Amino acid sequence: MFTIAQRYKFIFIILQYYSNKFFRYICSIEIILFMKIKTAEYIISNSDVKKCPEGNIPEYAFIGRSNVGKSSLINMLTGRTALAKTSATPGKTLLINHFLINKEWYIVDLPGYGYAKRSKESRDKFQKIITGYILHRMQMTNLFVLVDSRHKPQKIDLEFMEWLGENGVPFSIVFTKMDKLGKEAGSKNVREYLKVLHETWEELPPYFMSSSEDGRGRDEILDYIAEINENITNE
Residues near ligand GDP, by CB under 6 A: 64, 66-72, 86-88, 90, 112, 176-177, 179-180, 211-213
Give the residue closest to Mg ion by C-beta. Answer: 71
Closer residue to Mg ion, CB minimum distance, 71 or 78: 71
Instruction: Provide the minimum distance between the beta carbon of 81 and ligand GDP in the complex, in angstroms, as a whole number.
Output: 12
In angstroms, give the least distance from the CB of 150 to Mg ion: 18
State the burial class of residue 45 (Cβ atoms within 10 Å of its Cβ: 0-12, 13-18, 19+): middle
> For Mg ion, which is the closer residue by CB, 97 or 229?
97
- Would you say 46 and 54 are in contact if contact means Cβ atoms under 8 Å apart? no
Please give the biggest Cα pair distance in the chain.
Answer: 89
State the binding partner of 213 from ligand GDP, Mg ion, none, CB within 5 to 8 A by kind.
ligand GDP
Instruction: For residue 212, state whether it binds Mg ion (rule: CB under 5 A).
Output: no
Q: DSSP of 47-93, one letter per residue?
A: SSGGGS--S---EEEEEEBTTSSHHHHHHHHHT-TTSSPP-SSTT--
- Which residues between 48 and 77 bind Mg ion (CB under 5 A)? 71
Residue 212 partner contact from ligand GDP, Mg ion, none using kind-dependent CB cut-offs of 5 to 8 Å: ligand GDP
Shortest reach from residue 73's CB to ligand GDP, in Å: 7
- Which residue's CB is nearer to ligand GDP, number 87 or number 131? 87
Q: Measured from the CB atom, is 71 or 141 closer to Mg ion?
A: 71
* Among 224, 103, 230, 96, residue whose Cα is nearest residue 170: 224
Angle between helices 183-200 and 155-166 (to 10 degrees): 50
Measured from the Cβ of residue 186, the count of other Cβ atoms closer than 10 Å reads: 20
